[in-house]
């Protein structure tokens, strides 16, 4: 069995090496490092959702002592700065390309959402910069705005961009070569179906509340005509390349450095307008310029997420077999396009179908819509929660329509082990999985059979109790591949360099351990370096649960190449044929003899011979398909609408778990974020003014410690067959599985239409009203 293969074993566990400095308060987060002579920046942001900028008067601000510069869009143009919008290229219906409006680093002509940067003040101190920012006088002409995606596509809605009629950024007809023909085929199956289930579900807009806000320090070196940007990222290469394009720089003239990062969740994966403006400012004032976002700014300027409404239909035959699925979604992208916002809402969303189920035909279409709001981008799950939530709510509705038990219906339609590799209707091929076993294990751990007794006990206390099941399969990793490098500086030390970057996942610990295990050397001799474009590595960073799949595979390949180099040198040192040289446990040895020499001795000789073992390698590995089953149990007080998450169980297949403790942390954190979205989180805008009403933690509710019960988690690991480590990814599963598990549980507690039609977040008021509607 693959599980017994030495390549697919967990690594020996040890405490994370990152924790000690962080617990001692000596981490290097964005606001922890200041170079002497660094100036401080403050952005002046639009108070309007849409407004024409009539004039900007900076005289009063510039007159304040300690103010070094006030920059506007004109200064950005004079510096040669171009658009900071660099979305993934996509083609929509009829071959139309995605609409990409010009986005300057500072607003030019019009402000398109509340919080868009209009001017940048640079001063000696933060206090002076803030006072000067308050002194910048901007005359606006308020224009009609639209912030709701449903309103944005109505006839007569305010139009954000002339090149995007109907506010459509992209009308995406699905991944099929002939989407119209596919739609007709699906329609025929629906026409012949014995049963049809339909749902309309909302994935509300949410804020990415990372513990550390964004920030950056920009430096210009006149002697070399080059720049350095220190910023919290999830991978420096993509950020560097996007900014270099925006500023029309050769990439090698811009170095991007990242140290400790207090949470990213996708939001810190790409470049932002502020970073480009800071680089221009650093050159203007001839000093490093530092900016740290306030929490209020973060609510108005960080990429937000979700904002999708999905209409989904499922066709079933008389026996409850799934025949076809239709999903049509409207998704917001904000006023401008982020790097992956539209891609997430369309391609990422569609690739999640058919999840664990055998659904022969599927039609998906998505309309990506501009609104006068901050841009949307990656956030934990990134299309996966939206798709899975729609499907799992739909299957519960299908159980209600057909009268077939919801567990029986799921089990009846699951992809059987004998069907794998499974070529799905959306173009993906699942290489591994044991889905029914995952379901059964979760049902057992959740004591599903004993639920009726617990429900009866709640009823005796005047409460309602429900249990919800969510089976999911997602896609992780994929192209392009990552590079990794190893070097031997001497003194029995190995340096591992990575293109990805940790935002709390424990990369330094994991990849040190992986390299040591592969080479058979002591962990203490391995140092991991990341977060610096000067490392010269290609890779898009830690997104889409791809770090270990991509960087881990790249590291394995790089080590193999380094060993091959060492084998040639060892053959000369041991005076044996290269074909007779084996490698194991940190030594090269002559097969069939006791003659051997250590890796580091070979590395020293290789360096002396000008044939160093330093190696760069790359791995191109396909997507993987993590999957699982999450079960939530809730108790509701119908008198107040208060909901208690009484129990939560998860069983996940993330392939080989190199470090089960790190995997557990990923799942627990993602579940908390998923539960937060299901029960309390929502970015609420005033539809008339476009103002963000939930613009602070006083108004934007996050889950608290007492929101969650003690989680019951387990793994059912089926190694992936398409990468050398057998890993699949673990970062998105909790956020993907929690939404439908919690909402299906609430619907189970509130019978009939009232519970089935409840949308997230399931606030006490919504639940109280739903309970009132129960006959």
In this prediction, residue 6 has a pLDDT band, given cuts at 50, 70 and 90, of very low
Buried b (16+ CB within 10 A) or exposed e, 314-339: bbbeeebbbbbbbbbbbbbbbbbbbb
The Cα 558–Cα 514 span in angstroms is: 12
pLDDT in tens, 446-475: 999 999 999 999 999 999 999 999 999 999
- Alpha-carbon Rg for the chain, nearest whole angstrom, is 27
pLDDT at 3: 34
pLDDT in tens, 315-342: 999 999 999 999 999 999 999 999 999 9
Among 596, 484, 660, residue whose Cα is nearest residue 10: 660
Q: Is the peptide bond before 354 cis (omega within 30 degrees of 0)?
A: yes
Among 645, 623, 631, residue whose Cα is nearest residue 722: 623
In this prediction, residue 9 has a pLDDT band, given cuts at 50, 70 and 90, of low
- Check whether 400 has a pLDDT greater than 70: yes
- Are the C-beta atoms of residues 541 and 258 closer than 8 Å to each other? no
pLDDT in tens, 172-203: 999 999 999 999 999 999 999 999 999 999 99
- More confident: 288 or 16: 288
Buried b (16+ CB within 10 A) or exposed e, 526-554: bbbbbbbbebebebbbbbbbbbbbbbbbb
| Angstrom distances, CA of residue 466 to CA of 356, 452, 694 | 23, 9, 30
pLDDT at 8: 60
Instruction: Name the pTM for this structure.
Output: 0.95
- Are the C-beta atoms of residues 475 and 622 closer than 8 Å to each other? no
Angle (CA) 169 691 216, round 5° = 75
Q: Is the peptide bond before 134 cis (omega within 30 degrees of 0)?
A: no
pLDDT in tens, 683-716: 999 999 999 999 999 999 999 999 999 999 999 9
pLDDT at 774: 82
Token pair for 364: 């998906």
pLDDT in tens, 525-567: 999 999 999 999 998 888 878 888 999 999 999 999 999 999 9
| Angstrom distances, CA of residue 748 to CA of 270, 396, 477, 745 | 40, 9, 35, 5
Q: Which residues contact 501 (CB under 8 A, 6 or more apart)?
A: 233, 234, 235, 236, 258, 261, 507, 530, 531, 541, 542
The Cα 726–Cα 722 span in angstroms is: 7
pLDDT at 715: 96
pLDDT at 2: 32
pLDDT at 546: 87
Q: How many whole angstroms from its chain centre is CA 548?
A: 15
pLDDT at 14: 77
The Cα 171–Cα 708 span in angstroms is: 39
| Angstrom distances, CA of residue 604 to CA of 143, 455, 493, 597 | 69, 69, 11, 11
């Amino acid at each position: 069995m693959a599980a017994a293969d030495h390549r697919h074993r967990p690594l020996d566990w040890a405490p994370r090496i990152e924790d000690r400095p962080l617990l001692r308060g000596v981490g290097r987060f964005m606001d922890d490092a200041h170079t002497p002579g660094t100036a401080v920046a403050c952005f002046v942001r639009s108070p309007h959702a849409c407004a024409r900028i009539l004039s900007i008067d900076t005289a009063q601000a510039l007159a304040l002592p300690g103010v070094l510069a006030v920059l506007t869009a004109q200064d950005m143009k004079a510096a040669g700065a171009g658009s900071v919008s660099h979305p993934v290229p996509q083609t929509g219906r009829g071959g139309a390309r995605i609409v990409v409006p010009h986005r300057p680093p500072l607003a030019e002509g019009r402000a398109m959402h509340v919080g868009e940067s209009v001017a940048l003040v640079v001063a000696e101190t933060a206090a002076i910069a803030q006072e000067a920012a308050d002194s910048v006088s901007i005359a606006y002409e308020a224009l009609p705005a639209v912030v709701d995606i449903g309103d944005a596509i109505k006839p007569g809605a305010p139009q954000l961009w002339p090149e995007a009629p109907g506010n459509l950024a992209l009308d995406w007809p699905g991944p099929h070569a002939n989407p119209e023909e596919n739609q007709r085929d699906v329609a025929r199956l629906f026409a012949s179906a014995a049963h049809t289930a339909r749902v309309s579900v909302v994935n509300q807009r949410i804020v990415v509340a990372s513990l550390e806000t964004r920030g950056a320090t920009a430096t210009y070196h006149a002697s070399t005509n080059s720049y350095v940007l220190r910023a919290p990222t999830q991978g420096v290469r993509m950020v560097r390349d996007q900014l270099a394009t925006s500023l029309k720089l050769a990439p090698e003239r811009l170095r991007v450095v990242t140290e400790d990062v207090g949470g990213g969740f996708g939001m810190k994966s790409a470049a932002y307008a502020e970073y480009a403006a800071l680089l221009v400012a650093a050159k203007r004032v001839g000093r490093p310029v530092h900016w740290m976002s306030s929490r209020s700014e973060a609510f108005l300027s960080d990429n937000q997420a979700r904002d999708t409404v999905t209409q989904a239909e499922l066709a079933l035959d008389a026996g409850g077999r799934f025949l076809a699925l239709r999903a049509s979604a409207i998704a917001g992208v904000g006023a401008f396009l982020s790097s992956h916002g539209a891609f997430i809402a369309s391609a990422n969303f569609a690739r999640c179908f058919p999840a664990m189920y055998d659904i022969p035909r599927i039609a998906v279409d998505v309309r990506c819509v501009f609104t006068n709001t901050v841009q949307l981008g990656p956030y934990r799950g990134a299309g996966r929660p939206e798709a899975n939530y729609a499907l799992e709510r739909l299957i519960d509705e299908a159980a209600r329509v057909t009268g077939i038990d919801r567990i029986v219906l799921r089990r009846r339609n699951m992809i059987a082990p004998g069907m794998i590799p499974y070529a799905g209707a959306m173009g993906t091929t699942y290489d591994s999985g044991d889905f029914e076993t995952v379901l059964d294990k979760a049902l057992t751990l959740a004591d599903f059979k004993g639920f009726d007794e617990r429900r009866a006990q709640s009823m005796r206390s005047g409460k309602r109790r429900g249990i919800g099941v969510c089976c999911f399969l997602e896609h992780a990793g994929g192209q392009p591949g990552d590079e990794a490098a190893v070097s031997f500086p001497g003194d029995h030390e190995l340096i591992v360099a990575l293109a990805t970057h940790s935002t709390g996942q424990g990369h330094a610990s994991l990849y040190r351990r992986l390299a040591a295990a592969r080479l058979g050397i002591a962990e203490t001799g391995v140092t991991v370096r990341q977060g610096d474009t000067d490392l010269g590595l290609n890779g898009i960073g830690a997104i889409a649960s791809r770090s270990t799949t991509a960087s881990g595979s790249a590291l394995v390949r790089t080590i193999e190449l380094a060993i091959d180099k060492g084998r040639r040198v060892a053959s000369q040192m041991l005076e044996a044929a290269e074909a007779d040289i084996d490698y194991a446990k940190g030594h090269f040895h002559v097969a069939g003899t006791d003659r051997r020499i250590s890796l580091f001795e070979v590395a020293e000789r290789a360096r002396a011979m000008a044939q160093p073992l330093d190696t760069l390698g790359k791995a191109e590995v396909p997507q993987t398909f993590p999957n699982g089953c999450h079960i939530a149990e809730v108790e509701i007080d119908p008198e107040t609408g208060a909901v208690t998450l009484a129990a939560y169980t998860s069983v996940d297949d993330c392939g080989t778990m190199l470090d089960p403790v790190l995997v557990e942390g990923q799942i627990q954190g993602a579940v908390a974020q998923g539960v937060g979205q299901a029960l309390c989180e929502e970015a609420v805008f005033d539809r008339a003014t476009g103002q963000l009403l939930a613009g602070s933690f006083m108004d934007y509710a996050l889950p608290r410690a007492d929101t969650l019960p003690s989680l019951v988690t387990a793994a059912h690991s089926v190694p992936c067959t398409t990468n050398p480590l057998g890993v699949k990814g673990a970062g998105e599963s909790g956020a993907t599985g929690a939404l439908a598990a919690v909402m299906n549980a609430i619907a189970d507690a509130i019978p009939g239409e009232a519970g089935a039609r409840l949308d997230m977040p399931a606030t006490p008021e919504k639940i109280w009203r739903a309970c009132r509607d129960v006959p």
